[in-house]
Each structure stands twice: as structure tokens, then as C-alpha cells.
Amino acid sequence: MASSDDDLNKLDTLSDDDYLKLIEQFYEKNVNNFAFPQLDLDKKQRLVTELFTRLRSFDSNSIFLCLKTLRLLTRDREGLDALTGSSVLEPLQKLAGLECSKVDANPTDIQNVIEAEKCMSNLIYMSPAVQKFYSVSGVADAITQRIKETTTTKLDNGIRFFDMRMLFLLTALNADIRQRVREKFHGLSYLFEIINQIMSTRSEPVAAADSGITLSNEDIDYLIEILKTLYNLTVDLPNLTHSYAIQEEEEEAHLMRLVSILRELLLCYGPNNEKQMELQNHIINLLTNMPKTCFEELLSPAVLDDDNDNDEHNGKNMEAINTILRFLDHRIAKAEGTKNAKEVLLPVLQLLILMCQSNRTIRKFCRQFILPALGDEVLNLPTEGQKLRNKLTRMMTNPNSELKTLSAKLLFVLCKESVDRLIKYTGYGNAAGLLYDFGLLGPQHNINKEQYSSDSDESDTESYKKIRDQYGIDGVTGRANIKRNDDSMKDWTEERKMVEVDKLLNTLDRAMTHGLIKPMVMDANGNPVPAESVLQLREANLLTHHPNDLRASESSDDEGDGGQINTNKSK
């Protein structure tokens, strides 16, 4: 703003037209800014106070300009106190049509409702004081009421998106609101209904095995906000109050219905692979909150004329499980070795462990996908390759303890918690960390044997048996004991070998001189002391590895000298 100090000091003397010009200039200049160092708390307070004083007399377009400008100010944490008073928060709640006593289920001034909600969302995210104010003023109740009244009518897409965004924020920050939305307003049921409506409007009802539903970017963005809100509403289910627990059977039926809906949502397509993966990520996060008894709902009866036999197992259609496994494979390939691998992979690993522990059909299908019967791949290390078994085995030695533990635990569960079977697929060296953590390094194997079916699903291929019988399998590495020719010097001449030895000695000498390494040798008393030179290190090495040769040489020399002495004496 040109001459901003003078203008801000004269705000109350400006006409409405001049004030709007000033606001418009400020907006155009700062539309991409997220901080306003030129505005201290006092200046920001005067600007906001004057804005809401004049707002009552402005038309819709002028109000829209003022709200857009206010939204810019809500991005900045500095001076946020100017925006957290009731003189700001109450008018915003009214403009959004979310007064608890008067919910506007069919707003007409769409652009201003959306801008007011954007301001509210930013403030709720930024300020604990605003969170408390809107929790008490019933914003979550009003949003739930508007959802309830518009499930059968069309609400503007922008309004419904920011309604859900605010409901997500409020339920994330306040446990009392979660309980109220769940119990008083039956929020779970209404959110289920919205998801069903979105899917039903995008496709005619078809066979469960192939929904064929394609969702738009707008659909997925809205569904993600719903899934995040559902995550909040179900995250504390194990700690429910008694009044809620008495409805346990009814609520379990609700959750089983939710898992069934999530199954259909997993099979939907997005406009592109990235957007589809984003939706699947939030579905998987929500599934981690579900009771183990509900995972059966991820399966459906196999369709007899289904062409895709890869998704059928034991009379069940496993397409949803296959989607989760492919999601894991894709995420590992993308995140392996990156800093955010933990947050990207932990939820899907946790979900697969829960499903495989609780459902035999899911476990057997996952085992076929991740740990198929071994064949020629036993010629390589378990960590070599790009199959899911190889990727998970590599993660068993990941520096992050949680990622390492969950990767190992998933493989362990797929092996029916059999130590011998785990070692067979991963090698003892990779499995040692998990076995130590679980206290399984001793002779006790398969401590939870009763949890799994007694029938064996081992079926080694003929190629594996042939390699095993011919070479044997190294239990530490998990690889066949084939004698490998690793002698890279076999074709070198003696001159070439001497040149390379000289290079190595010079490099070692430089490293010791500059203190990069400090090799140790044993002194006469058997104590380690730093080697002073490469020559001393070589002599110590010879003494350690060839003592008999040195003693024989010394003995021969002594005898020679003695012989000479005796000869001299005789003369």
C-alpha cells in the first residue's frame, strides 16, 4: 500500500469507495504473500476493526473483496490476536451460514460463504483460542446439521468441501466434539451416505468385483476430507464412554458397513495414478482404526465368470487386498531410502499386519503375493531384486526402528510366526534384529502357533529343491552355497599386481599420515598401540598370521651364528 502508515491512520476518515480502493490495492499487492512485516499488531487491529465496521453496509461484491483481504491476513501467525476476538469470529460464522441456532442449509451468496469458511479454516488451524471459541459456539454442530439436511439435496461443491475441512479440523483438535458428532448427530451414518452418493452418481450399479467407477479431482478432494474426518471420529473407539459402549453391537455393524464402503472406494479409479494413490492412502489410514472383526468385509464372493483369476482366492474376490499390496509395492519403490519413508509406509504396513493376523484368507493371499514358493531366486541374496519380498527384506535393516520392526513383523506373520520359515525367506542375518527384539534367538519357535491354522502352505518348487540338495542353503545369508569366482585378479600379470600393491600401500600411508585411520598393533605386553608406519603394520601382521615362519627363520639364523662361533672357538 502506498503511504500505508498515513492510510492506516486515516481509515476511519475515508469514504467507502476510497476504503475499498485501499483494500483492493492491498489485496493485489499481497495476494501471494504469507507474512506482513509492515503491519504490526496495532495496524492490523485497526484494519480489521474498520473492515468489520463497514462490512454491514457493503454489497455482496464489496463483502467478497473484504473477505479475500481478510483471508490473506489469516495466513500470518504474527499479529493473529487481531483476528481472534468475538467481533471477528461471530460475523464470520454468520456469513458462513453456520450459526448454531440458524443453519443456512441453502445459502445463496455462495462466494461469500466460501470466503468466510476459508478464513475460519485458517484461523481454526492457526489459533487455539479460535478452536475453543468455535467449539463452544457450535460450528461443528451446525456443519453436521447442514450435512444432515443436504444429503438428499445439492449443496455447492466449494461449501461442502470447506464444511468438511472445518469439521475435520475441529474433530481432530477436540475429543468432546468427536463424541458429540458421533453420538448426538450420528455423524458416521451421514458421512457413509455421502460417500455412497458420490459413487452412485458416477456409475450405474455393477458387479461388486469390478466397480469401474471413475472419480474426478473434485470428488477425490472432497472424499479425502470425509475420510480424514472419519479417521478422527473412529480413532478413539477403544476408549469409548459407557454410554456409547452399550451400543457396541450396533456400532460394530456400522463399522462393518464402513469397511464394505471403503472396499468399493478402493476399487474406484482416479483421473490419474497420483490422485488415485492419494485417495487410497487415506482409505488405508482409516482402515487402521477398524476392529479386526471387520476386515472380512474387504472380501466379496468371487464372480464365476471373472477373467482375472489373480484376484480370486478360496472362493473370495481379493481385488481390494491386491490393491493394498500394489499400493505398498509402489510406495516402497518411491520412498525407499528417502527421509519420509516412515510416514509414507507405516500405515500400510500396520494395516497389512492387522489383516493378516486376524483373517486367514487374507494372510494366505498376501503370502502368495509377497512370499511365493522359492525357486531360482535363492541363487541371489534375499535383498537383491525388486520383488516385494526383496524390498521388505531390505527394510528389515532400515535405520528407522519402527519401519524396520513393522517390515520384519509383516514377514514374520506371513510365515505364521515360524522362526525357521522366516530365516528361510530372509536369511538369519536380516532376521536377527526381529528375533532379538521378540526374544526368539533361543530354541523356542512359533510362540503363537495356536493362532494359525495347522495345515501347511509350504510348497517348495522343484528348482528350489534341486538347488538346496545340490549346493545347500546358507542360513545366515539365505542364499545357495554356490562357490563363486570373485577373483578379479586372476588374469593380472605379476607386474600389474605389484603396481596395485604399491598404490594400496601409498594410499594406506597417506590415510595414516593425515589421521584418517589409526591402525593398532600389539606391543610387547600385549596392549594395543597405534602403528607408526605401514612397515610396522606389515611386520605386526606377519607376526600375527605367520608366527611359525618367523620363529623358524629366527631359529635358523641363531643356529647359523652359533655354528660360526663354535667354529671360531675350535680354531
Question: pLDDT 10s digit of each residue in the chain, 571 long?
Answer: 444 555 666 777 888 898 899 899 989 999 998 888 888 888 888 888 889 989 888 999 999 999 999 999 999 988 888 889 999 999 999 999 999 888 888 889 999 999 999 999 999 999 999 999 999 999 999 999 999 888 767 889 999 999 999 999 999 988 889 989 988 888 888 999 999 989 888 765 444 434 478 899 999 999 999 999 999 999 987 544 334 444 566 677 888 999 999 999 999 999 999 999 999 999 999 999 998 889 999 998 877 655 556 678 888 889 999 999 999 999 999 988 788 888 999 999 999 999 999 999 999 999 999 998 888 888 889 999 899 999 999 999 888 889 999 999 999 999 998 888 898 999 888 888 888 887 776 555 555 655 666 555 556 778 888 888 877 888 788 888 876 556 677 778 889 888 988 898 888 888 888 888 888 888 878 788 888 888 887 777 665 555 554 444 444 444 444 444 343 443 3
pLDDT on residue 453: 61
Please enumerate in sequence order all residues whose Cβ is within 8 A of that of 347, keeping only pairs 6 or more positions apart, or say none. Answer: 281, 284, 285, 288
Sign of dihedral through CA atoms 388, 394, 397, 403? negative
All three cell numbers of 380, joined, read 541371489
Helix ranges restricted to H, 127-186: 128-136, 139-149, 157-173, 175-183
Give the phi and the psi of residue 530 in degrees, each rounded to 5: -65, 140
Number of Cβ within 10 Å of residue 357's Cβ equals 19
Q: So what's the pLDDT on residue 274?
A: 93
pLDDT score at 242: 36
Exposure of 301 by Cβ count < 10 A (0-12 exposed, 13-18 middle, 19+ buried)?
Answer: exposed
299-317 confidence digits (pLDDT tens)? 988 776 555 566 788 888 8
Distance CA 508, CA 422 (A): 41
Q: What is the pLDDT of residue 549?
A: 47
Where do the domains of the chain lie?
Answer: 495-538
pLDDT at 267: 92
pLDDT at 246: 41
Alpha helices by DSSP H, listed for 396-455, are 401-414, 419-426, 428-437
Are 335 and 329 spatial neighbours (Cβ–Cβ below 8 Å)?
no
How far is the C-alpha of 85 from the C-alpha of 79, rounded, in Å?
A: 12
User: d(Cα 421, Cα 374) in Å, to the nearest integer?
Assistant: 12
pLDDT of residue 353: 96
